Structure 1
Amino acid sequence: MKRKLSLVMAAALTAALLGGCAGGNAKQPAGDTTAAQTEAGEKEAEKKEAEKTEAVDGDTAKTDDVKKDDAKAGDSAKTGDGQFKAALIVTGSVNDAGWNAAAYNGMKAIESEMGAEINFSENVSLPDAEPALRDFSNKGYNLVFAHSMEYGESVTKIAGDYPDTKYAVYTGTVEADNVASISLNEHETGYLAGMLAASMSKTGKIGVIIGSDLPPMIRIAEAYKLGAKEINPDIQVFDVFAGSWDDIAKGKEAALGQIENGADVIFHVADKTGLGAIQAAQEKGVYAIGSSVDQSAVAPGTVLSSALDHADKAYLAAAKSVSDGTFKGGIMRMGLKEEAIGMAPYDAAVPEDVIKKIEDKTAQIVNGEFEVPEILERTTK
């Protein structure tokens, strides 16, 4: 999955979205070419480009536009001795305004706050994960993030060959001496999303679309149901486990089915697939709740809020532990209390009393007064 066990953007993002807790295409972005150049001109351009690349002194993801030419694995800039180096592999595009974009935000936080050199490779399929991880490890990166629990097996397979390299699997469940998994309590925001959905529903029917049916994902859906029932014990919740994280059409189809059955609020935790759910909600005039990053710009007036992954905080915590020598292999549990997750600002349509209820519940979770149950098997209610 992105995540399996799996952090926030404007009108330009919407276009990129429709174009990443999981699989994606293994191809890496190709370099720029100019068809009209003569053969001699092409050679000269290639020579200049090579000289330009060698002269770079900084990160490979140089612009906020995250141009795909910067996404080639291993295209790291040469830096001075002692500079901290962190790399990332993701299952989709870092321009997806969702799960993978949250990972990129985390890397940029490491770059800006630690002065680190960063690099990333996008659209890394599971078969290509091991080669990509080895490539970064061979190039001397201090820390390599694998932004999907699905990468866990590949990480543990190669970690022993690189004892001086540390690895962090986002939303993972694996561990070793040099491997940590960052496990997010996403069921906490799932519960809050359920409260929001039930509060805004007029039909008494709501939906949730999840990218996969792994236990950590089921846990989010079940928490959504519990949160909704706190508001309305009689509410009906439709759930769909799409089996894909990057199929917009499938997400739209699933949401349309729920809407046809009366659902008037749709929550998704399905990455790119979830964009289809938001499309369906917008077209049918019902509400949606996004995930990973603030997706209000995807469909203004339709998206009530989003369940956020603050990957910047989690990534920074991991990177600083490696840098200061306190890194320990194991499972790092992070949730609302650690500010690793949260809810995005609410749409104007959400009444203040609804927001207050959700904020009060958030405080109870943070203070330990309320613990969201972890249900790992799907229920029919």
Structure 2
Amino acid sequence: MNIITKEDKDMKKSVVLLLGLAMAASLLAGCGSKPAEAQKTQAAADSTAAGKAEDGGAGTEAADGGETSGGGLKVALCVTGAVNDMGWCQSAYDGLKLVEQDLGCEVAYTENLDAADMVATFTDYAANGYDVIIGHGFQFGDPALEVGELYPDVKFICIEAEASAANVASYVMKCEETGYLEGMLAASMSQSGKLGFIGPVQGASLVKIMNAYEDGAKEVNPQIEVQTAWTGSFTDTALAKEAATAMIENGVDVLGHCANESGTGALNAATDAGIYATGDSYDQYDLAPKAVLTSAIYNVPQLIKTAVSDIMDGRFEGAVKQLGMAEGIVELAPYHDLESAIPEDVKKLIEDRKAAIISGEFVVPCDTTARN
């Protein structure tokens, strides 16, 4: 697996469909298929890029120093945080590894990507011959449409976006379904009648989870208070812990989050205070075993493999696709060692509602309007 890092270098011209358009194409560099290897210093990446730039190549090499992997499509992944965050970004990284291992694709990724650099990074990959570019998060929708218009032969896959075009598809997970169940569980376990929920940056795909959590909680207890906060960061764990601690001091005794890597701070605050919490994206029990009752699991690896398989098999469709619990794309993690702490009637309540969601008998409201 290859890793490509961002470069602060001069703009270079690319010949694209619109004659004379100057396009940002930062030089590609670096290698590393494992999360730990992705944590290179920028100086090392710059040095590697300088050497690669001389021969005009894509600036990639195999993780083991040998030939690049895969004989199929060239697939690139872009994420906003670290690929070892035990959450949102790592789920996509696992999907990329699945594409490499099971489909024989040559793969690369860019982590810790800022919004300002998304168009340039997409352009780099497209200009260097990548067939499929995946943006993991709603923020990648507009960049995919912009760059996709210039590279009609490249397929763009956006997770949790609302973008679609002839060569752009969005895969939207019904994360509100697990958010609703977590809210029901949190309200059932609360003694104070106060819950807290922390998000990173406001966007439809995250607002719907926060709102569903509140809606699920209020099904159990219409008078329950749900305190919410947006940290403004996907990666700053200190901000999330600070917000969570303030909520705990205000009486919250169960915390939830959809805050990517920064959500770890909320889980740490719950552990320190001896209260319960729910995880997001991954089974996050190992991060806070004394606090995490369950987690919302998003089966992003299978989703990414399905999307790339569709492209390989000629089934690609430029559309927005909705997938949820019925399709096995979202689910709740086991209760693990905290199962005994959850009353049997509460577990039955959650199971019954989950069955109704899967059967279609109950449809979780998808409210993407921020309430705070």
**Aligned mates of 2:328, 2:82 — CA distance in 1:** 25
Counterpart of 2:365 (choices 367, 373, 376) is: 373
CA RMSD of aligned residues (A): 2.4
- The DSSP-based 3-state class of the residue aligned with 2:242 is helix
**Aligned mates of 1:178, 1:256 — CA distance in 2:** 45
- The DSSP-based 3-state class of the residue aligned with 2:331 is strand
2:160 is aligned to 171
* TM-score (ref. length: structure 2): 0.81
Is the CA contact 2:200–2:259 (under 8 Å) kept in the aligned structure 1? yes
Deviation at residue 242 of structure 1 after TM alignment: 2.1
Is the CA contact 2:72–2:103 (under 8 Å) kept in the aligned structure 1? no
Query: C-alpha offsets along residues 157-183 of structure 1, whole Å, 9 cap, x if unaligned?
Result: 111222221010111111110000111
1:1-381 counterparts in 2 under 5 A?
Answer: 61-63=32-34, 65-69=36-40, 74-77=59-62, 83-350=72-339, 351=342, 352-379=344-371
2:23 is aligned to none
**Aligned mates of 2:338, 2:206 — CA distance in 1:** 28
Query: C-alpha offsets along residues 259-318 of structure 1, whole Å, 9 cap, x if unaligned?
Result: 112111000001122111111111111111111111111111111111112111210111
Deviation at residue 253 of structure 1 after TM alignment: 1.3
Is the CA contact 1:76–1:118 (under 8 Å) kept in the aligned structure 2? no
Alignment length (residue pairs): 325
Moved more, 172-181 or 150-159: 150-159
Is the CA contact 1:27–1:123 (under 8 Å) kept in the aligned structure 2? no
Deviation at residue 330 of structure 1 after TM alignment: 1.2
Larger relative contact order (C-alpha < 8 A, sep ≥ 6)?
1
**Which structure 2 residue ranges, 5 or more long, are not aligned?**
8-29, 46-57
Is the CA contact 1:60–1:70 (under 8 Å) kept in the aligned structure 2? no
**Aligned mates of 2:241, 2:69 — CA distance in 1:** 48
Is the CA contact 1:211–1:241 (under 8 Å) kept in the aligned structure 2? yes
* TM-score (ref. length: structure 1): 0.79
Query: C-alpha offsets along residues 77-100 of structure 1, whole Å, 9 cap, x if unaligned?
Result: 455995222110111110111111
Q: Percentage identity across aligned positions?
A: 39
Query: C-alpha offsets along residues 28-52 of structure 1, whole Å, 9 cap, x if unaligned?
Result: 7xxxxxxxxxxxxxxxxxxxxxxxx
Amino acid of the residue matched to residue 357 of structure 2?
A: I
Query: C-alpha offsets along residues 306-363 of structure 1, whole Å, 9 cap, x if unaligned?
Result: 1112111210111011000110111011111111111111133233443332222112
Amino acid of the residue matched to residue 147 of structure 1?
A: H
2:21 is aligned to none
Q: CA 1:115–1:60 in structure 2 vs 1: closer, same or farther (change >3 Å)? A: farther
**Which structure 1 residue ranges, 5 or more long, are not aligned?**
1-25, 29-58
Deviation at residue 113 of structure 1 after TM alignment: 1.8
**Aligned mates of 1:256, 1:326 — CA distance in 2:** 48
- The DSSP-based 3-state class of the residue aligned with 1:160 is helix
Is the CA contact 1:248–1:276 (under 8 Å) kept in the aligned structure 2? yes
**Aligned mates of 1:161, 1:355 — CA distance in 2:** 51
